[in-house]
Every structure is written in structure tokens, then in C-alpha cells.
Chain A
Amino acid sequence: MDKYVCNICGYVYDPEAGDPDNGVKPGTAFANLPDDWVCPVCGAEKVDFSKED
């Protein structure tokens, strides 16, 4: 599964780790994150992320 980087703050969403602090279980692909999920560091929306090269 691909990692995604926040274009605003540089936070990397790692699907293996998920975002448990915000109710996202480990193993959740970026595409399956809820639409209202935001970057846990800076609050950026999903559209502000790009796939990590």
C-alpha cells in the first residue's frame, strides 16, 4: 500500500500504521480514509496529499 505525503506540512500517512489517535485502524489504505479525515499535524484535507515517490 502506498504512503501519502501532506503537501502542507510534510506529514507522511503510512497505511501500515494508520492514524489510531483519530480512529483510523492500522492497515487502512489512503483511499479508504473517510472523506472528512484531515492531516493529524496541520489539518490539511485529503486533496492536499500526494503519493510518496
Chain B
Amino acid sequence: MKPVEIAKGIYSVGAIDWNIRDFHGYSTERGSSYNSYLIVDEKTVLIDAVKKGFEDQLIGHVSQIIDPQKIDIMISNHTEMDHSGGLPRIMHAIGEQKPLFCSKMGVKNLSAHFTQQWNYHGVENGETLNIGSRTLTFLETRMLHWPDSMFTYCKEDQILFSSDAFGQHYAGLETFDDVVGHTIMAHAKKYFANILMLYASKVLKLVEQVQAANLQIKTICPDHGVIWRKDPGKIIDAYVKWSRQIPEKKAIVVYDTMWRSTEKMADAIADGIFQEGVPARPIHIRSSHRSEIMTEVLDAAAIVVGSPTLNNCMFPTVSDVLTYMKGLKPQNKIGAAFGSYGWSGESVKLVQAELEAMKFQIIEPAVRIQYVPNDEGLASCIAFGRQIGQAVNRKMMNDE
């Protein structure tokens, strides 16, 4: 790959990871990239390192433009290892004593990752750095998505270097949103659902602040995936929409099954929901990755969860999905539980308790069937589905 010039003197020089399929438990079927940006001015600046193991790509790209030792300042917008793991080699290549700019929390957090005594410069929110013909502004964006996260903004070129925000796990040579086309939005949505959903209120506040400050943004350069140059407003609007968590008329029935009894129930419940005119889809947990499920959760109005009882507990994969979901804090959902069991049947209660802990509006009574559902049992599942579908329809009217 060649470095790509984004604006005069500003280059994308990061690394592509074509083969990653598991990004800390997030399925990345299209790989990812660890973006890094070089600004050549009176002072030359490199924004963000890459993951450990990808330094050769970064240094190779930089070297096609400038001798790495000519880099005057390293900026680290985010401490997480996919953007800092390469720092030891990068700092070594540019010179260990070069200033390393990051947020105050970044100084703390980088120091907890690396033993090197780098020349840290912890910036204040709003602090500026003149590099010649350009002035960079640092914007603290704590918890979007780590305490250390910040953005770097270049006023003259109206470029926002946004760290993980607005990113997508997508490996490609296309570099820009308009080259990939609309399919990129699905990757951006998955990224939001799995990384940022729990910080939705922070996203909304940040967008308000950016609008109040009248920050002009022509291009957004995130740390993963493509650069938003055609229509940065589109991804900002999408973030606002996703952050508000106003659901669509849609239900998902997430379940696992041992001898297909809970599966039969799931299918019947989805049928019942659909009979009320609400799009519904059963999702078998071991056939779908948890991160795919979260993307569906993001805009669903109802999350129906089914688990067989295994050794007096809920099925382990259901527990996995519920733990993951709870951490991402979906808001404003209808929830319902169901499941088949052999003799004790604790799982349904346990699942419902998890949905209650997430403050979902629970549809009761949950449906529990011993062993294999017969016609009567399946009819009760359809009726339960209709009850859920009606609740979704009422919710859609109330939320409008």
C-alpha cells in the first residue's frame, strides 16, 4: 500500500490488518485497520501509532514521505493497545526524546502500559499547538471510549482526527467513504453498537458541544476503517440517531437450545410477534457472534431471550450474551424471557432477572415449557409473541 494524501501535506500512513477475525471478542469478518496520520509542516507530526506487529507498515509508509527521524512530535489520541502497542518501536524510530502529546489521563494510562520514560506532554482540553502553517487543537473526549481518549482537530484543513469514534472495523485499500459506498454504514453501526453504545449520553453531549463551538468539519479521520470525506455529516447524524436509542419497529428472539425445544419456542414466538405486524427474527446464539447480536439489539424495540435450563443454570452461551449486553447498556427496550426445561427449570427466571437488571419493560408471564413443546405449548408461545408484538406497537406510538 502507498500512503494516501488526504489534504496537502496530510497523509494516511497506518496499517491494514487483513486477517484479524476476533478483535477482543468482537467478530471482524472484514479485518480492520490501525490508522495513523502524518502532517508535514514546519514541525512534522504523527498522530497515533498502530498495533504491535504492524510497525513495519507504518514506518514503511512514513519513509516514502519523510525520514521518520524528521518527525518532531508524536500525538497519542488514545492509549488502547491497538493504537499504542507500536509506540516503543515508533518512538525509537523517530527519537526517544521527541515530545509525546496526549491527554492528562493519557499520561497516566500510557505510563501504566509502558515502562519507557517518554517525554510526555499532557494537554489541557482545548489546548492548541502551532506547527507552522497549521494550529492543532486537542479536545478531551473522556470515555469515548476510554478515560484518555481525545480528538485532535486541524482548523486550517477542517479535519477531525477522531480516534476510535466514527471508526469501523473494515480492512480495505479504498481509504475513503465514497469509494466503499453505502455498505460502510453497516460496519460503522456495528462498531457503535459494540464499542460506544454504553456512552451514548456522552456522544450526544459531545455533538452538542461541537455544534455550539461551531467547529467546521470537512473530513473525519478515525483510527479504524475509512475516512469520512464525502459526507462527514452523515456519520455524525447516524451517531446522534444511534445514541438516542429510539427503537425501530423490530423484535429479535435470541436463544440457545440443546434438543431444539427452546428453538421451537423461539420460532413460534417470532411468528406471534410477526402476526402483530412487527418484523421479528429468531437468532440462534451459537450460529451468530455476540457482536452481531449487539448490532441487532441497537435498534430493536424488543429483546426476547430464551434459554434451556442446564444443571439448574441458564445455558452458558446465553449468559455470555446477556453479560455482554448488560455492559453495553441498551436503553429503552421491551424484554421477555422463555425456555424449555427438563425438571427444575430455573433458567427463565434467571434470564428475566438479567433483563430486569437492564431496566427493560418486561412482558409477563414468561413462558416455560417442560421437555418438548406440544401444540398447546406452541400456541402459548404464539400468544406470548402476539403479546410482545402488541407491546412493541404501543411503544412505537408512545415514542413518536
Contact = CB atoms under 8 A, between A and B. Distances in A.
Interface of A: 8-9, 41-44, 48
A36 to B, nearest CB: 14
A43 B201 contact: no
B147 interface: yes
B199 interface: yes
Contacts of A48: 201
Ranked 4 nearest A-B pairs via Cβ? A42-B143, A43-B142, A42-B142, A41-B147
B140 A43 contact: yes
B174 to A, nearest CB: 34
A8 B140 CA distance: 15
Interface residues of B, number: 8
A6 to B, nearest CB: 9
B284 interface: no
B147 A42 contact: yes
Contacts, number: 20
B98 interface: no
Interface string B115-148: 0000000000000000000000000101100010
B89 interface: no
A8 B142 CA distance: 10
Contacts of B201: 8, 48
B230 to A, nearest CB: 32
Contacts of B229: none
Main SS class of interface, A: loop
Nearest to B198: A8
Contacts of B349: none
Interface in B179-204: 199, 201-202
Interface in B195-231: 199, 201-202
Contacts of A44: 143
Contacts of B142: 9, 41-43
Contacts of A42: 142-143, 147, 202
Nearest to B201: A8
Interface string B67-84: 000000000000000000
A39 to B, nearest CB: 8
Greatest chain A CB density within 10 A among B143, B199, B202 is at B143
B208 to A, nearest CB: 14
Contacts of A41: 105, 142-143, 147
A45 B181 CA distance: 39
B326 to A, nearest CB: 13
Nearest to B105: A41
A8 B201 CA distance: 9
Contacts of B105: 41
A9 B109 CA distance: 15
Greatest chain A CB density within 10 A among B140, B142, B201 is at B142
A41 B250 CA distance: 36
A30 to B, nearest CB: 20
20 contacts: A8-B143, A8-B199, A8-B201, A8-B202, A9-B142, A9-B143, A9-B147, A41-B105, A41-B142, A41-B143, A41-B147, A42-B142, A42-B143, A42-B147, A42-B202, A43-B140, A43-B142, A43-B143, A44-B143, A48-B201
